[in-house]
Structures are given as structure tokens and as C-alpha cells.
Amino acid sequence: MRVLIINRWSDDFADYGSYVDHTAHQVAYVTVAGHRPLLPGGTAHAEVVADPSDADAVTAAALRCHLALGGTDVVLALSEFDLLTAARVREELGVPGPGTDTALRFRDKTVMKAAIAEAGLRIPRFRTVTTPAEAAAFAAAHPGPVMLKPRTGAASAGCVLLEEGLGERAVLARLEGLDLSGYEAEEFVQGPIWHVDGLLREGEPLFALASRYLNTCFEFGNGSPLGSAVQQGPLADRISDFALDSLRALGLRTGAFHLEVIEHRDGPVFLEVGARVGGGEIPFVCRDVYGVDLVGDWIRLELGEAPLTVPAAGSECGGFLMVPEPVGMRLLARPELRGTVAGLYAEILPEPGRVFTGDGGYDEILGRFRFRAASPQAVEAAIRSAIDQYRCELEPAVLTPSGADA
């Protein structure tokens, strides 16, 4: 096949040679400069763009790849931030696959929730907002907290929580100077948050795991550890069924998914979804504990190939913990927990001397931990134990305007 890959990464996530046979397929890339050393020797063509978020530049580069290949059969884009651009490229080149309308259902939070509601599934009440006054009006009309979110954002970046009881004046003061173009407001539905991760082929699940967060992605962005443990039992089955119903409502037939659900006392409530592999430690736990290569099998499905991995038999549960960056601090010392916390099988820790500048995402952070145990309760206990025991010594660092250590 003639395969066009749109890529923005330059680390191991961009090692496409591990997944795509560059001798069996003709493969071209629209990518970033830092990815060049990872390009396999059999690469047919590569175009480098300065900014992968520049849809015009990426589309123009994709056309050059298309001409170099003599046509394109498949366009691959693994990052959530490239899904809309990939859809545009498919449409302009006449390549089969998800177009803009489909991609919007997985990128624009207002579009996805409208589709879910139309299918009769519960969602938070929401509306598009563009100004602080519109956000204040929504908060006044809905008792309880309200969350403001970028409509095409991810990982809770840019989210603003308006606490219950804030008056209009306080809301306007809180939002003064913020650009809310491209935002939505939604009611804050109380309850634990779950995530369901897996793969679909022709509308049927090949693999799906329902996990419950300890804390939330929003709290992680505000300095709290984020944990997650795979769950078992009737509630986990109900959450998984709700997630699959949501994916059908959104029209996802084949591919990877990461879907979040609120466990409300009245039943599951849809939160949001990504048509991609979940971030952080999710793909590693799926590989290590369950024997499923989410990234590799997603690519194989897109190429029309059979998945290589079969879910591992057994009843073990997996989980993870991520400790966020203490922005503006330098790490002086930190413990190692493997061997002291039952169920902790892997840890990725920064070396002393690391300065945290706030651009580590889910990878270059204060600590990453992976767990496996006989039950969800055991995994959750191990996560809490790790949180209690992971005490680091830090000192303030002076950062330059660019974020580097002075």
C-alpha cells in the first residue's frame, strides 16, 4: 500500500518502523525535523514542516508526498491534534477514511456531545461560549459548578472551573483577559471518572478495558497525582457497554479509542472521547499486563491487516500513577519505590538535577509508575501507598522567559 503518515513526535512514539513494514509498503511522511533520525531506511519520501499544527503547510506537504508516491491509499495520524488535518488531507487527495465531519465528532466537544445526546445517551448540559458574559450567563442558569473547556482541547489544558455560588461579577473577574473563542461551558457532573480504552474492528470491540481514575486529569494539571486502576464486575461492564454505545453513536467503526465516563448516581454520563490511543501510561499497562499493543494494532487495522496481539489470559488488574511536574522547581533527591510497594512493577523517574519547566506533558514528569495485582482494590491500595511514600526533595529554580533554567 501507499501510506502517508502525518507525525508531530520525535521520540519513541514516532518509531513507525516498528509497526509498518517499509519494504512491503511505500511509506511517505509529513513530519518534524526532530523525527528525521527515526525515519526507517526504506522510507519512500519525507517532507519536513516547521509547525505540524499549520494545516495549510501540512496539506501542501501531503500533496508533495502524494505525487512522490504516485497516489495514496491510507493516511495515518496518531496524534489527537492531527486528526482534523488528516481528515482534510484525505478529502483533498480523495483517500478513503474519516473525513472532516467524522473527525469533528471526536475533536469538537460540542459536536460529540450533540451526537451522543441524539442517540439518547446522557451528557452534561452544555453550550458554546465565546465571551466571559456568555460563560457567566450559563453559570447563572445552572446550579452547581461549571467547567469551561477548549472545544478541541485535550488533557484538560486550558480548562477553567467556576465553583458553585460565584456571582456574575466574580465570574467576570475570574475570566477577565481570557480569550474564550473556541470554548464551551458545561455543567460539572459529580461522580468518579472512568476511562474505557480499546480497539474496534468493523464496529465490534477487539479489546476494551474499563478503568477508574484516582483524582482527575484536571486535578493533575493543577498539581495533584493522577492514578487509574482497571476495574472488574457489573459496574465495569455497564461502563464499557455505555462506552461502546457512545462509539456507535459517534460512528467509529474501526480504530482505537479513549472514552471518559462519569459514574453518576443515576447512571453513566458521557464526558468526552478521543479516536486515538489513550495517553500517559495507558498503552504501556495494556501491553505489559494484558498483552495488547494498542498502537501497533491500531496501525495494522488502518492498513487492513490482522492484529498481532491477543489479550493475555488471567485475572490480573493493571493500573498506573503519574506525579505531575512541580513547575519552577529543581529535583534534588527522590526515592525509588520498586521493591517497596507491592504490585509496582515499573517506574520511570527523573534524575536529580532535573528542572521542571511545565512542558513535560505526561512523559517528562516527577514520576511515572505502573502496577499489576490480583484485584482492583489491590491496585488502588498500591497506588495510594506509592503516593504516600514518594517524597521528593526540591528547590526553586530560576526560569528564563523561554522556560529554561537560568
In a shared domain, residues 202 and 176 = no
Domain-located, residue 83: yes
Domain that holds residue 223: 193-396
Q: For 134-291, where are the E strands, in sequence order?
A: 146-150, 160-162, 183-187, 193-201, 204-214, 226-230, 255-264, 267-274
**In this predicted structure, what is the pLDDT of residue 360?**
81
Q: Is the pLDDT of residue 403 over 60?
A: no
The cell for 64 is 508533495
Domain-located, residue 405: no
In a shared domain, residues 253 and 298 = yes
pLDDT (mean) for 252-263 = 96
In a shared domain, residues 91 and 219 = no
Residue 133 CB coordination number (10 Å) = 14
- Is the pTM above the cut of 0.85? yes
The cell for 14 is 514516532
Domain-located, residue 159: yes
**In this predicted structure, what is the pLDDT of residue 27?**
98
In a shared domain, residues 180 and 220 = no
The CB-side HSE value for 349 (13 A sphere, CA atoms) comes to 17
Confidence class of residue 361 from pLDDT cuts 50, 70 and 90?
A: confident
Q: 3-state DSSP call for residue 64?
A: helix
- Per-chain mean pLDDT for the chain: 94
The cell for 45 is 519520501
Q: Is the pLDDT of residue 292 over 60?
A: yes
CATH number of the domain encompassing residue 88: 3.40.50.20
CATH number of the domain encompassing residue 176: 3.30.1490
Q: 3-state DSSP call for residue 142?
A: coil
Confidence class of residue 107 from pLDDT cuts 50, 70 and 90?
A: very high
Q: Is the pLDDT of residue 302 over 70?
A: yes
**In this predicted structure, what is the pLDDT of residue 154?**
83
**In this predicted structure, what is the pLDDT of residue 406?**
56
Question: Distance between CA atoms of 362 and 360, rounded to whole angstroms?
Answer: 6
In a shared domain, residues 183 and 201 = no
Q: Is the pLDDT of residue 404 over 60?
A: no
CATH number of the domain encompassing residue 344: 3.30.470.20
Dihedral Cα 129, 134, 139, 141, nearest 10 deg: -110
In a shared domain, residues 166 and 280 = no
Domain-located, residue 357: yes
Domain count across the chain: 3
Local structure of residue 75 (DSSP, 8 states): E
Q: Which tens digits make up the pLDDT trace of 173-199? A: 999 999 999 999 999 999 999 999 999
**In this predicted structure, what is the pLDDT of residue 400?**
67
In a shared domain, residues 135 and 206 = no
pLDDT (mean) for 161-172 = 93
In a shared domain, residues 149 and 44 = no
Question: Distance between CA atoms of 223 and 91, rounded to whole angstroms?
Answer: 41
CB contact at 8 A, 378 and 343: yes
Dihedral Cα 57, 9, 210, 269, nearest 10 deg: -40
Examine the fold and report which residue of 171, 187, 203 is the final residue of a domain before the chain moves on.
187
Q: Is the pLDDT of residue 214 over 80?
A: yes
Q: Is the pLDDT of residue 313 over 90?
A: no
In a shared domain, residues 283 and 307 = yes
pLDDT (mean) for 43-62 = 98
Question: Distance between CA atoms of 402 and 384, rounded to whole angstroms?
Answer: 35
**In this predicted structure, what is the pLDDT of residue 405?**
61
Domain-located, residue 107: no
Question: Distance between CA atoms of 344 and 336, rounded to whole angstroms?
Answer: 11
**In this predicted structure, what is the pLDDT of residue 359?**
85
In a shared domain, residues 265 and 230 = yes
Q: For 21-96, where are the E strands, in sequence order?
A: 26-31, 45-48, 74-77
**In this predicted structure, what is the pLDDT of residue 398?**
83
In a shared domain, residues 144 and 261 = no
In a shared domain, residues 308 and 368 = yes
**In this predicted structure, what is the pLDDT of residue 274?**
95
